[in-house]
Amino acid sequence: MLYLVRMTVSPPYGMPPEEFERLKNQEKEVGIRLQREGVWKHLWRVAGAYANVSIFEVDSPEQLHAAIGSLPFFPFLSVEATPLVAHPSSINPADNPALKEEMA
Amino acid sequence: MLYLVRMTVSPPYGMPPEEFERLKNQEKEVGIRLQREGVWKHLWRVAGAYANVSIFEVDSPEQLHAAIGSLPFFPFLSVEATPLVAHPSSINPADNPALKEEMA
Amino acid sequence: MLYLVRMTVSPPYGMPPEEFERLKNQEKEVGIRLQREGVWKHLWRVAGAYANVSIFEVDSPEQLHAAIGSLPFFPFLSVEATPLVAHPSSINPADNPALKEEMA
Amino acid sequence: MLYLVRMTVSPPYGMPPEEFERLKNQEKEVGIRLQREGVWKHLWRVAGAYANVSIFEVDSPEQLHAAIGSLPFFPFLSVEATPLVAHPSSINPADNPALKEEMA
Amino acid sequence: MLYLVRMTVSPPYGMPPEEFERLKNQEKEVGIRLQREGVWKHLWRVAGAYANVSIFEVDSPEQLHAAIGSLPFFPFLSVEATPLVAHPSSINPADNPALKEEMA
Amino acid sequence: MLYLVRMTVSPPYGMPPEEFERLKNQEKEVGIRLQREGVWKHLWRVAGAYANVSIFEVDSPEQLHAAIGSLPFFPFLSVEATPLVAHPSSINPADNPALKEEMA
Amino acid sequence: MLYLVRMTVSPPYGMPPEEFERLKNQEKEVGIRLQREGVWKHLWRVAGAYANVSIFEVDSPEQLHAAIGSLPFFPFLSVEATPLVAHPSSINPADNPALKEEMA
Amino acid sequence: MLYLVRMTVSPPYGMPPEEFERLKNQEKEVGIRLQREGVWKHLWRVAGAYANVSIFEVDSPEQLHAAIGSLPFFPFLSVEATPLVAHPSSINPADNPALKEEMA
Amino acid sequence: MLYLVRMTVSPPYGMPPEEFERLKNQEKEVGIRLQREGVWKHLWRVAGAYANVSIFEVDSPEQLHAAIGSLPFFPFLSVEATPLVAHPSSINPADNPALKEEMA
Amino acid sequence: MLYLVRMTVSPPYGMPPEEFERLKNQEKEVGIRLQREGVWKHLWRVAGAYANVSIFEVDSPEQLHAAIGSLPFFPFLSVEATPLVAHPSSINPADNPALKEEMA
């Protein structure tokens, strides 16, 4: 199942730069791992903002929460997850599995 | 370039059902054409709501506006288009073209 | 999987009362069916408002959307679906399946 | 009587990790006690967010306030409590006591 | 138990004046009855707005909902009910029953 | 004249606990004094939140501001004051002075 | 006492133009009367919007409500009244009566 | 002086198409006239929305209001005008007149 | 030209009291100077809140910005400036210069 | 392509003044460079607020993000970028390239 996830980062003022840098690298590592696992399907930046828009593909909301909760930046994120479903007008089999059945 | 587009439909009360049905079919036809053209890259429904979340891939914001403006439902839509850019932590070449260059 | 769903009803002014009454009865029938199917797990009214708060238990967001989309009132509803996951501090096996495993 | 309660946590930056950990454990203990007492009836996490959605069953709003106010995280929570009432279309006796009387 | 209730009226354009007048009188009658029953404890107008702020005293949220739902204006109201509890710093026995016990 | 006043408290993180406790006690003292003076007519807590809902009865908005401004917590409060007027449908002489004149 | 009052007009679509014109003229007459009475002290338009910002000087919130409630446009207005008090840094005797006493 | 003006169009449902078309043409004529007069300096569409973002250059807010108020679509517009001033970091003489003086 | 300006103060926690006091006095001095210059025409407090509502009369938005930007509290203020224009229904020559011309 | 970009600055309390001054100068340098490069096409201040409204002209949203992300103030900015397109009613060839073609 898919989720549209919007994460806005509020970097806390006062954190030593090197610590923030360390967290940022960890954040990147975790993000890459989740993408490799196919959980974090799309990751884009919102142009101009310290925020990202992502599509998560997971088997359950638990998996979604575990993924996002594992992010080192989690305490500085405000996150909104919107559950998505296939749209009957979508002709993209990847987004509209029903089409695959029709084509099968 | 990519846009996250959220469209919320407010069906006007009082429109004769057959007219609304006609518009809905036209809306579907236009949507399918735009998808075939590769403009409307992803189309999902927001689970439970009369709204969709889409990813548009266009060459210019003009193309984005022309596509959305051509929708028969346009006068009943409230639309928000968020410009997206590649995220350096994205490992998906489709979303992070820089990777293609690195791999080239 | 569970969703918190909040539905606010905006009854359209101008609809003939008998038609509204008819729709209301249909709404009730569909609601009862969904509850019998175990999809609409909890249904409460927001005290004082023309709105309800519900917990839906479904196998997929598709099932959630199909259920809500089938409501005759759907065009007059504004709906927000929030995906829920088990909380590790929950001691209620019905809400925190992990406990069942621990007890098994 | 039932309340839908949404709690969003804003962990204060600068709190020593061990102190936060201590508070978190206390928070869990208080939460478990309230669940055992039947006050905190359902506790779920909002998937992806540092927030929970709960159903409290109490005899009075005073009991609700005492329960939430006793949480060690209270100063870092923004809380919204929505009073719920039975919905006449609910077929769940646990949520719609009137049914029990009908069945009695 | 007490609720702060804010009701904002959106008079529907197009309703024949005499019908609106009729509803308004019915609204007043129902309001007076609820006040006589002690349910509608305080009723004030928001200065300058087509809205009221009220304090309802009821035995249960069900009673609150029944009272507000019985208002002829209900379909044109947007209502927000906030549950209130006694404040330990209140010295008004009517609002802080604990004081009565102390004085008893 | 009456005001509905809603105060939300944002306790500043980092204030030494004993100082916060001291301020809290002062806050209580000032609150009690204002109630004795009849200015702070009703004081309730919003169930579940670090906020209160109050009814102030003052001779002038200046008196309202002086009262609220004198609260030690003032710098940590976000305050909204809504001016109230008697509602013609109110049958409570305390809230609808016009009734007293009718009964006189 | 003074109020900042912001009125936003939502002209209802479908009202016959001549009726709207008639209401507009009545609105102007009532507005002029209230200004002559010194109640409507300042009336400005928000540049570019169908809204006005006004300062009302009244003896009581009741007088404020009576004035605004008497406007023919009242059912199409959304109104927000903010109570104002003299600012100790104001050197304008008209706005800061305390100065007059000092000068007396 | 410059204003950022954002206009969102809410086409009223039920207006005969030919009337709407007529208004649209008038709207375009008035818009072109205002641009020729140099009042409407920039006019862009918000990509994907029935809204525009404009820069108005006028001698006074009165001129701004007269221009916007003269638009046939005015009753269906929600308009927000934000006053702009030169930014000291701007190196564009057209936007930062002070530079012209420096260069003079 | 006139602006409605609303300033909300968020006193930063942690500033040494004497420094805050010093800034406050400077704020008052600057405010008085601006009033003497006729720029800060009206200054009122929002009853109950740490905020003010003001009317600025300036020759240009630049003058408005210079005035507000010069306030020592500027970094702790959130400011909204709304441009005002004369309302044709205003009978106050000070607010509706056109009247002066008519009377001339 | 053009973007309307609104940046609101929240200067972090506690940063040593000299460090803030240093950042401010760097911010100005980066801003001037981007303007010289033609990326930052217009830069205005919102009158009265610690915010700017800008028009960016870039070849891609990536270029927009790189420009804004390079600002030293980026961590203290909240940024909203709105994609703009030519408006068919615009007679300004700079804003409505289609006109140039017509005139060619």
Assigned token pair, D84 = 């719920």
Above 70 in pLDDT, residue A23? yes
> I75, J49: Cβ pair inside 8 Å?
no
Our CA-based measurement puts residue G76 at a distance from the nearest CA of chain E, in whole angstroms, of 8
Do the beta carbons of residue F78 and residue G54 sit within 8 Å? no
CATH code, C2-103: 3.30.70.1060
pLDDT band at C71 (very low <50, low <70, confident <90, very high): very high
Q: How far from chain centre, in Å, is Cα J83?
A: 12
How much is the ipTM here? 0.92
Band of pLDDT at residue B32, cut at 50, 70 and 90: very high
| Closest chain D residue to E2, measured at CA | D61
The residue of chain H nearest to residue I98, with distances taken between CA atoms, is H62
Contact A80 D48 (CB under 8 A): yes
CA distance to A53, G54, G98, J86, per residue, from A48 (Å): 12, 38, 50, 21
Q: For residue range G24-74, what is the model confidence (pLDDT) as tens digits?
A: 999 999 999 999 999 999 999 999 999 999 999 999 999 999 999 999 999
The residue-averaged pLDDT of D56-85 equals 95
B78-103 CB burial, b ≥16 within 10 A, e <16? ebebbbbbbbebbbeeebbeebeeee
What does the pLDDT average to over B61-70? Answer: 95
The predicted structure's pLDDT at residue H29: 96
Which of J5, J7, J71, J89 to mutate: most H Cβ within 10 Å? J89
What distance in Å separates residue F16's CA from the closest CA in chain G?
32
Task: Say whether pLDDT at E99 is over 80.
Answer: yes
Instruction: Determine the residue among G6, G65, G90, G99 to mutate to test chain F binding: the one whose Cβ has the most chain F Cβ atoms within 10 Å.
Output: G65
Six-digit token string for J1: 């392509």
D104 pLDDT more than 70: no
Confidence tier at B12 by pLDDT (50, 70, 90): confident
Asked whether G48 and H68 are in contact (CB, 8 A), the reply is: yes
Residue G68 tokens read as 């605004």
Distance from CA of B85 to the nearest CA of C (A): 27
Binary contact (B85, J1; C-beta < 8 A):
no
pLDDT digits (tens, 9 = 90+) for H10-28: 988 888 989 999 999 999 9
Residues forming a β-bridge with G83: G3
In this prediction, residue C99 carries a pLDDT of: 83
Under a CB-based contact definition with an 8 Å cutoff, are residues C88 and D31 in contact?
no
pLDDT of residue G103: 63
CB pairs under 8 A between C and E: 34
Q: Given an 8 Å threshold on Cβ–Cβ distance, is J83 in contact with B64?
A: yes
User: Which of J43, J44, J46, J52 would best serve as a mutation to test chain I binding (most I beta carbons within 10 A)?
Assistant: J46
> Quick check: G102 pLDDT over 80?
no
The pLDDT of residue I98 is: 83
Of A11, A14, A48, the CB nearest to J68: A48
Q: Is the dihedral of CA A4, A63, C2, A79 positive or negative?
A: negative
CA B85 remoteness from chain centre? 16
Would you list the domain boundaries of chain G? 2-103
Tell whether the model's pLDDT for residue H46 goes beyond 80. yes
G-chain residues near H62 (CB < 8 A):
47
Using alpha carbons, list the distances in angstroms from residue H5 to C24, H65, J52: 44, 11, 14
pLDDT at C104: 60
pLDDT, averaged across chain F: 93
| pLDDT tens profile I25-66 | 999 999 999 999 999 999 999 999 999 999 999 999 999 999
CB-CB under 8 Å, B14 with H48: no
What are the structure tokens assigned to F29, written together? 């003292």
Chain C residues with CB-CB distance to A60 below 8 A: 1, 85
Q: Which of the four pLDDT bands, split at 50, 70 and 90, describes residue J104?
A: low
Chains H and C touch (3+ CB pairs under 8 A): no
Chain J contact set for H2 (CB, 8 A): 44
Largest Cα separation within chain G, whole Å, is 58
Residues of D within 8 A of F11 (CB-CB) are: 75
| B94 or E66, higher pLDDT | E66
Using the predicted structure, report yes or no on whether residue G19 has a pLDDT greater than 70: yes
pLDDT score recorded for residue C103: 63
Q: Where are the alpha helices (DSSP H) in F60-96?
A: 61-69
Chain C residues inside the 8 Å CB shell of A1? 60-61
pLDDT (average), residues G81-102: 88
With an 8 Å Cβ cutoff, are D48 and A74 in contact? no
Average pLDDT over residues J21-37: 96
Residue J89 has pLDDT above 80, yes or no: yes
* pLDDT higher than threshold 80 for residue C5: yes
Query: Binning pLDDT at 50, 70 and 90, where does residue A104 land?
Result: low
Chains with ≥3 Cβ pairs under 8 A against I? F, G, H, J
| Structure confidence at residue I4 (pLDDT) | 97
E100 pLDDT higher than 90:
no
To the nearest whole angstrom, how far is the Cα of G85 from the nearest Cα of chain F? Answer: 5
Taking residues C34-51, report their average pLDDT. Answer: 96
Mean pLDDT, rounded, of chain H: 93
